[in-house]
Chains A and B, each alone.
Chain A
C-alpha cells in the first residue's frame, strides 16, 4: 500500500475501468482536489502505466509512487499546481 508518511486525501478506485477510464477518473479528481492534496488511483488496466505517468508529468504534478498489487496497480499523485 501507500507509504505511511503520505496521507492520501482521495482514493479513486478505477479497477474494472478500461483505458482511458482510469486516467479520466484521475483528471476529474485533480480538477476537484486542492493543491497539495494526494490522490491514489487503483487501475487494473495495463495501459495506465503508460498514460497516467505521462499525463502527470505533462500536467506538472508529482508522481509519488507506482505500486503493483494483485491484479491492479496503485498510482499516488500529489497535486502541485
Chain B
C-alpha cells in the first residue's frame, strides 16, 4: 500500500483524493481539512447580491468523497519533508509516500490599516455582511478596490462592479449610486486581450474606473482609501479584495517563496526540490496563472492521474497545459466566457445570454459533477 495524503478539502484536493481512490487500488488515501466543510467559493458574489441563500454554498466534505478516502478534520502544523510526515494540530503525525498540497490561499485583511470596516465577498461571513450593507445602502459612492496582488478569481472585482450596476438598477436607485472601480493594474481587467471588452462594458454601464490603484490604507473616519501610488478616493461604501497569502504551515515548513506561495513546476505540478514526492495545486502554488477554482480543477485532474500512476508503478505522463475556463456574469442576464492556456491567450466572445447561461449551468451542476471528478 502507498500512502497518499492530500491537504485541503477544496475543489482541487477533493478531486485529487477521489481520482486516486478511484484509479489506484493500492493507494491508502487520506484527506486532511481543517473544517470538514466544502465551500463553493464562486457563489459568494451571489450571496452578497442576495440571489442565493448561503446554505447553497456549503456541504459536508465527507459526502463528496469516495468511501475509500479517509477524512481527517484537523489542521496542518508542519510538513517534515525529510521524514515524509505531516504534523497535525491534534498531535498526529501522518506518514506519506506521496503528498498533495491543495490548501489554497488565506485572507489577510488586517494588513491594510484602517480597513476593518471595508467589505468583501471572499468568505461566507464577508458576503453576508456585504449583502446586509447593500440592502441598507441609500445611495452614494461605492468603491471597489484591491488590497494586494495576486488574489483569487482575478475577474471578480470587475464582475462585482457590473453586478452592482444590475443590483442598484433593480432596486431603482442606480441614478443615486456612483460605482467606481479601482484597478491595481494599468488596465481594467488582468487579461490584456479581454480588457477592451470589459472597458466597453464599464462605459456602457457608467461604471467609473481608475487604473494603477493599489490600496495601501483606509481612513474610515474620513471615508477615504489611499493608494500605494499616492492617490486618494472617497467612498460611502468600500469593497476591498483582501490581501492573500499561502497557508502558514507551508511557510513554516520551508516550502514557500518570499510571497508565501509554493514554487511548483507549471507542467508537472511537482513542488520544486521535492519531485516525485510532493505536488501542489490551486491557489497555493506560485504558478503565474489565475488563482481560481477552474485552475485547481484542471490541475487536480493531472495530479490525480499522475499520483495514481505512480502508486501503480507506472510513469506519470500527464501534463498541465495551463488550461483555465471561466464565465463572468455582467448583469442583466449577459456574460462573457474566457478559455485560455499557457500558449493561447483568451479571445473574448461578445457579451451574450449564452455565456450567462453557461455560468448558471456550472453553478447548478457543480456539486453533482466537479468534486466527484466526473468532469
Contact = CB atoms under 8 A, between A and B. Distances in A.
A24 B150 contact: yes
A55 B288 contact: no
B112 to A, nearest CB: 10
Contacts of B259: 25, 28
The B interface is mostly helix, strand or loop, or mixed, namely: loop
Nearest to A19: B192
B186 A18 contact: no
Contacts of B46: none
B266 A16 contact: yes
B148 A51 contact: no
Nearest to B229: A59
A25 B216 CA distance: 16
B149 A24 contact: yes
A27 interface: yes
B212 A20 contact: no
Contact of B230 (A19, A32, A47, A59): A59
Nearest to B216: A31
Contacts, number: 52
B220 interface: no
Interface residues of A, number: 26
B288 A27 contact: no
Interface string A44-69: 00010011001100111000000000
B261 to A, nearest CB: 10
B212 A28 contact: no
B229 A20 contact: no
B149 A27 contact: yes
Contacts of A60: 229-230
A55 B229 CA distance: 8
A24 B190 CA distance: 10
B184 interface: yes
Interface string B208-227: 00001010100000000000
Contacts of A16: 266, 288
A27 B214 contact: yes
Given A19-B192, A28-B149, A51-B185, A58 B288 contact: no
B255 to A, nearest CB: 18
Contacts of A30: 228
Contact of B190 (A14, A20, A27, A58): A20
Interface of A: 10, 14, 16-21, 23-25, 27-32, 47, 50-51, 54-55, 58-60, 81
17 contacts: A10-B258, A14-B288, A16-B266, A20-B185, A20-B186, A24-B184, A24-B185, A25-B259, A28-B259, A29-B258, A31-B216, A32-B258, A50-B186, A51-B185, A51-B186, A54-B212, A55-B186
